[in-house]
Structure 1
Amino acid sequence: MKKRKAKSTSEDQYDTFSITMELEKPLLYNEGDNLDKKKQIKKEADSKKLKKGIMTLLVVIVLFVAGFFIWLSNGYKLESNSLSYLESDSDVKVTIKDKNIYFTPNSINAVKGFIFYPGERVDVSSYAKLGKKIASYGYEVVLVDMPFDYSSFGKDKATEIIKNNDNIENWVIGGDSLGGSVACKYALNNKNVDGVILISSYPTDNISDLGIEVLSISGSKDDVIDYNKLINSKDKLPTDTNYVEIEGANHSQFGSYGLYSGDGEALISEDEQIDMSAKKIVNFLYNIQ
């Protein structure tokens, strides 16, 4: 009897490859899910690190800025024995407008004015003795109050002063140390001043072609100023700049605030130094046209 080959039915037919794939599907899906989860976890971890880094940076910046302004605010103030220079007398009227200190001569209607920017971390009232001495010769003097006693933060304050005092025909701007450098920046960008006075200072910008008069005063015992920069800055000033070195004068005694950090010991008194400086400034103002 001839054997017959058995026929496969649909129930007996199996695709082994399909079965294997079906069996492995959950494993493949789980592996993909795990990979996505790992990526998500890493992404969240990276995001947390980034946020933490940004927060740390912000804290450092805030602390630095706060420290900087605290440092600025704890600078040099007018000594108590010089407070009388902020009071009016028979020669000079002293007034305060918008925190700026005005010294107005009583004996004459001033037509020339001197706008003064203070040194770094020095309260502008510390220059009251110098300002009052100059005003007594017949000139309007304005000591400009600066935010945090830092002239760079108020470099354009002279504009409002000039605008509000149209009785003054000729203005000269200047300052001590950083204040002098900032005054030069103002003169470079404004055509409303006729001269610049630098005290223990030098320009960081070239003002040699402005066509204005410049007076530079320094002290032989000044240990704060960078003498190399002072000498090299001559190329940035007019060739006819009037240079004056006061023998025995230091950096600090152009004001009345004590000894500036790192300064040398003066060989002359504060009164002598301010008196000589005032006379040089008065002569300069006299010749301003």
Structure 2
Amino acid sequence: MTKKWSKRKVFRTVWFSLVAILFIWNWNTFQSHNLPENTFLDSDVVSVIETDDEISFKSITSENELEVVFFQGGLTDPKAYAPLCRKIAENGFNCHLIKMDWRLPQYDYQKVFELIDLNGGNFVIGGHSQGAKMAAQLVYENPNVFKGLFLMGTSHPRDIDLSFENIPCIKLYADYDGLASVEEVMENKNKLPKGSKLILINGGNHSQFGYLGKLLMDSSPVISLEEQQKQTYNNLILFIDRIKSDI
């Protein structure tokens, strides 16, 4: 009897240890990794302000009226998107990186109205993964508020239809994305605003849209993080610049 109990105890200990290791490993992939050293430092062109609810990257040298709102992915560390937001600000556009409570955009996305006077300015909104989903949801719920919508690494909009919305939209997707496959992206293409531009990041995956670890179920990329970030940034800036010229 004692021997059986000991075997059962050993089995349970090993089992729970493996579960704990898997949880810690998985959680670690959602953290930000290898951020550039200057990400949160003020410079001659960018001022960084961090609060409990957002990280704002303010352009010092530009007086562009157009600003950017960025929604983090689900469970991901919002700081993983800070390098991209900083580069947007360096190009002359104030960028607001919103921190979601419990890192869950689907429950906290409307807080942005408490943080920013979205009706009193010109804003482009978007995000990554679940953050992109909820940015699309916000546009759906608040037509005519935003000047543009960008979506990164997501199959959404899936449960809503934006095809009748008159808003510039860009979707960036990757062929090695294990969480939002090319097939899933194409399935919902007809729900995007008319005239939306879809851009494939060849060799990219889901995780490298941010400075993250390789997320569970994601595929391995064949391009570097730096290359995927560069392509993402270049396409977003072209998109934002076109909207600016139309304001």
**TM-score, with length taken from structure 2:** 0.81
Separation in structure 2 between the aligned mates of residue 173 and residue 263 of structure 1, nearest angstrom: 25
1:106 aligns with 2:30: no
1:181 aligns with 2:136: no
Q: Is the 8 A contact 2:174 2:182 kept in 1?
A: no
Q: Is the 8 A contact 2:34 2:211 kept in 1?
A: no
Q: Is the 8 A contact 1:115 1:142 kept in 2?
A: yes
Report the alpha carbon displacement of residue 147 of structure 1 after superposing the two structures with TM. 1.1
1:247 aligns with 2:209: no
Secondary structure of the corresponding residue to residue 285 of structure 1 = helix
Q: Which runs of 5+ in 1 are unaligned?
A: 1-69
Equivalent positions of 1:169-208 (< 5 A) are: 169-191=121-143, 192-201=145-154, 202-204=156-158, 205-208=160-163
Separation in structure 2 between the aligned mates of residue 190 and residue 117 of structure 1, nearest angstrom: 16
Larger Rg: 1
Match of 2:171? 216
CA RMSD of aligned residues (A): 2.1
Report the alpha carbon displacement of residue 86 of structure 1 after superposing the two structures with TM. 1.9
**Distance change >3 Å, CA 89–CA 116, structure 1 → 2:** same
1:125 aligns with 2:79: yes
Secondary structure of the corresponding residue to residue 84 of structure 1 = coil
| Higher relative contact order, structure no. (Cα contacts within 8 Å, ≥ 6 residues apart) | 2
Report the alpha carbon displacement of residue 157 of structure 1 after superposing the two structures with TM. 2.2
Separation in structure 2 between the aligned mates of residue 183 and residue 84 of structure 1, nearest angstrom: 28
Report the alpha carbon displacement of residue 81 of structure 1 after superposing the two structures with TM. 4.2
Higher percent of residues as helix: 1
Report the alpha carbon displacement of residue 178 of structure 1 after superposing the two structures with TM. 0.8
1:261 aligns with 2:216: yes
Q: Is the 8 A contact 1:130 1:254 kept in 2?
A: no
Which of the numbers 183, 187, 206 marks the counterpart of 1:228?
Answer: 183
> Which sits farther off after the overlay, 154-163 or 255-264?
154-163
Q: Which runs of 4+ in 1 moved over 2 A?
A: 80-84, 226-229
> Which sits farther off after the overlay, 85-94 or 199-208?
85-94
Match of 2:15? none
Secondary structure of the corresponding residue to residue 263 of structure 1 = coil
Which of the numbers 74, 96, 100 marks the counterpart of 1:146?
Answer: 100
Which amino acid in structure 2 is aligned with residue 244 of structure 1?
A: I
Number of aligned pairs?
Answer: 217
**Distance change >3 Å, CA 242–CA 225, structure 1 → 2:** same
Match of 1:7? none
Separation in structure 1 between the aligned mates of residue 53 and residue 42 of structure 2, nearest angstrom: 16
Which of the numbers 33, 41, 49 marks the counterpart of 1:87?
Answer: 41
> Which sits farther off after the overlay, 256-265 or 76-85?
76-85
Report the alpha carbon displacement of residue 74 of structure 1 after superposing the two structures with TM. 4.2
Report the alpha carbon displacement of residue 268 of structure 1 after superposing the two structures with TM. 1.6
Cα offsets for 1:227-247 (capped at 9, x unmatched): 333111111112310110111
Q: Is the 8 A contact 2:68 2:94 kept in 1?
A: yes
Cα offsets for 1:196-229 (capped at 9, x unmatched): 1000112131111121111000112212214333
Which amino acid in structure 1 is aligned with residue 163 of structure 2?
A: S
Q: Which runs of 5+ in 2 are unaligned?
A: 1-22
> Which sits farther off after the overlay, 173-182 or 264-273?
264-273
1:96 aligns with 2:50: yes
Separation in structure 1 between the aligned mates of residue 175 and residue 182 of structure 2, nearest angstrom: 10
